[in-house]
Structure 1
Amino acid sequence: MKEENGKLKIGVSACLLGQKVRYDGGHQLNHFIRDILGQHMELVPVCPEVECGMPVPREAMRLIGDTDNPRLITRRTGIDHTETMSTWAEARVRQLESEGLCGFIFKKGSPSSGLFRVKVYSQDGVPHGAGVGMFARTFVRHFPLLPVEEDGRLNDDRLRENFIESVFVHRHFRDLVAGSSGRGALVDFHARHKLLLLAHSQEHYRRMGRFVADLPADLQEAYREYGVLLAETLRVLTTPKKHCNVLQHALGYFKKDLSADEKQEMLEVIDAYRNGDVPLIVPITLLNHFVRKYNQPYLRQQYYLHPHPLDLRLRSYI
């Protein structure tokens, strides 16, 4: 897929890029992020602890207290770094506004950067809940519409594909907004993403369709509200069943083109995908072949068929 206006940017916990910034002086290099995603995206490293002034190496920390509003305390000496981290995080997210990020990958389990199920301890050192790292919480609150994920969850093929697809769609929408486009451009954007949105949620797509059919008079408000709906829809995970429904829907655009054998071939490949015998890339490849062969104008414009660079091979595993 063509990337408009240069390479898109995502934020990444610095240790995942091989930077030796962890409390023990080590790193947690993730080769997929650095070596594969890095070919298509500009990776913006962020290390909350080092950037707010802590040394390397340093005493390990953990979250203590209320799950929704914990304190950041060193494990051995009990030094409270909550205010330091909080003040830095608020300033850092404002700085990141100028980066034009399209997403962020956080470090799993980190008391500053963990996004899901970060251990929160009681005063006597017993884990009693699961929270969010201090910087991650501030980031998500400041950028509620950005796609975010953890490094550990990227090992799940479906979560990985969903996150990266969302990053590219966010880039499409951000470029649309930056282009000072009118109502027609928003309608066109929605039409080109129809199949992709349907693969996430038919219910959300219908809501978006009703919204686009009756856009607010204030164009800026229309784009803002559509962006919220778009982010909500992309957070609903795709499933093989949803993909099969979309593939069959797409097949309907070839009613006057495909021979009986070609139609049967496509249906058999869809069934093979439904049964788990082949990955999604197989029916998608065949569908793209028919799009080119018959020059199907509507499907040629659908981002669903080319949501991210092919060499990422994301649909070869789902």
Structure 2
Amino acid sequence: MIEVTELTKVYGSTRAVSGLTFDVKPGQVTGFLGHNGAGKSTTMRMILGLHTPTSGKALINGVRKQDLRDPMREVGAMLDAAEVQGGRSAFAHLQALAYAGGIGRRRVVEVLEEVGLSGVARKRIAGFSQGMRQRLGIAAALLGDPGVLILDEPANGLDPDGIRWLRTMLRSLAAEGRTVLLSSHLMTEMSLTADRLIIIGQGRLIEDVSTADLLARFQSGVLVRSPHAAHLSRALEAAGATIRPAQDAEAGEEPVPGRPAGAGADARSVRDAGGEELLVAGLTAAVIGDIALANGCAVHELVSRRTSLEEAFMEITQ
């Protein structure tokens, strides 16, 4: 488990991290999100004891990283896959790390196989692609078979197969009861991988929430396509729905739930224009379908329109 309490880091006149508090619990993948300069890397480095906090504390399994009795077997990390000696082979690089941590040669062979680098284990790292270097960095993080894993942008440079492999592996490790903290700018992938999200901005905590709850909060309504849009919109408004032209919503304008029935200027504009697509807020797709049937309105499309993690992230970090 990772515990961050009132963590603050100041560099001269720059406050990189300010009073940050959150926990990263075992058994789930926790995504760590923020724009460039938000303080993610600084926070990770303080958790790993690479930077000293100005105030507050960051603990791994109840103690500071430097106080762990067997650090490589308790926590594995990858912050920058480029920080390797290019003249060494992948095997030699991992063997040196293993020797320093009291880990046997067999484990080096195992992790090379696990990350898909067995075939290039004896080749010099200087000739590796970015994706191969990422895999090597992940192998180094896994070397001690740790219970806590911290990865900064591990998917950079990976091809689609590599990204899927990484997602499957991280979720499998979490299912074993391990603690996984993952930073990434790949929002679509994060929505598929992370069970929980910690979002920061300007060094401060913005959200600590499950991925499902965050996406549900920003659900934008139900897209309805009907040749009887004018009649259907009146019936839906009477049932308490808010109606907007779908094209307006796609331009970034969200419906406002709770608008009184019949008072929607946007709904009137849809009826006047004879539009066929509506974005409906305040009613589920099932209820909309029942109302359409009761009013004799044909429906050609009925889809719950969910906001992507990228859209939700941009909204709450503005």
- Normalising TM by the smaller chain, what interval? under 0.3
Q: Normalising by structure 2, what TM-score?
A: 0.27
Q: Which structure is higher in RCO with an 8 Å CA cutoff and minimum separation 6?
A: 2
Q: Which has the higher helix share?
A: 1
Larger radius of gyration between Structure 1 and Structure 2: 2
Q: Normalising by structure 1, what TM-score?
A: 0.27
